[in-house]
Amino acid sequence: MRNRLLRALPPEDFERLAPSLAPVTLSLRQILITAHEPITQAYFIESGLISLVADTANTAGGRVEIGIVGKEGMTGLPLVLGSDRSPHVALVQAEGRALAVPAEALLPALDASPVLRGVLGRYVQSLIVQVGQTVYANADLNIEARLARWIVMTQDRLGRDELPLTHEFLSLMLGVRRPGVTTATHGLEGLGLIQARRGRITVLDREGLLERAGDAYGLAEAEYERLLKLA
């Protein structure tokens, strides 16, 4: 089991969920949560990458990514907060695997286990911080710095240097049109920080990317680690 939220649970609290957890494959572009529709399952991510996407008429393509989830987290957080739906889409951006739990099994487990509710509630807090850092990055950083941040965040979650980042995905991540993505990618390549090939970006210099990302990276990651230690 690779999901860090489930691994943080004491055995007796994990056992409340275990009978209802089902391994599933996550396919590229699969929609795990549809905006404004009832959430029937939560997914504890084991591998792969999930984008949390807002629909907007003000960006290229009408969509912009507001957060990402990997093996550190889960989708379906409105269930934890007492809601059954979200205005945002959860979309698979890198294929992988997850442990799915039906909403009707998760909700009684939350009611029966203060520890489970606490772990998932603290993850909600860490994700709020991540979204806040994204707002800051989009407001204050140029496209190149924002791209550097998202590359490092994607590397964190996939655990490898070669990342499946198409220009379409990068455009969605950054909320900009493809020419802006192309310019930013060439800029990072020119600095020797990445190597870009069709549909792939290879990280060559993580420290250099962190320098470009500045203080937009690190706060949310540190907050996640702090909160998980409280489990």
Residue in 195, 212, 23 with CA at minimum distance from that of residue 99 = 23
Domains of the chain: 4-113 (2.60.120.10)
In degrees rounded to 5, what are phi and psi of residue 152? Answer: -65, -40
Q: How are beta strands 63-69 and 89-102 bridged, if at all?
A: unpaired
CA-based torsion, 229, 133, 67, 151: positive or negative: negative
| Statement: the pTM of the whole predicted model exceeds 0.75 | yes
Report, as an integer, the average pLDDT of 153-166.
Answer: 93
How many angstroms separate the CA atoms of 118 and 90, rounded? 23
Q: How confident is the model at residue 37 (pLDDT cuts 50, 70, 90)?
A: very high
Contact at 8 Å (CB) between 185 and 147? yes
C-beta neighbour count of 15 within 10 angstroms? 12
Report, as an integer, the average pLDDT of 29-46.
Answer: 96
Question: Could you tell me the maximum CA-CA distance found in the chain, to the nearest angstrom?
Answer: 54
Q: Is 175 left (phi over 0), alpha (psi -120 to 50) or beta?
A: left
Contact at 8 Å (CB) between 61 and 171? yes
Looking at residue 59, what is its pLDDT? 46
CA-based torsion, 36, 37, 39, 45: positive or negative: negative
In degrees rounded to 5, what are phi and psi of residue 159? Answer: 70, 30
pLDDT in tens, 53-106: 987 544 445 678 889 999 999 999 999 999 999 999 999 999 999 999 999 999
More confident residue, 169 or 62: 169
Contact at 8 Å (CB) between 68 and 131? no
Residue in 99, 203, 213 with CA at minimum distance from that of residue 158 = 203
How many angstroms separate the CA atoms of 101 and 213, rounded? 36
Looking at residue 61, what is its pLDDT? 53
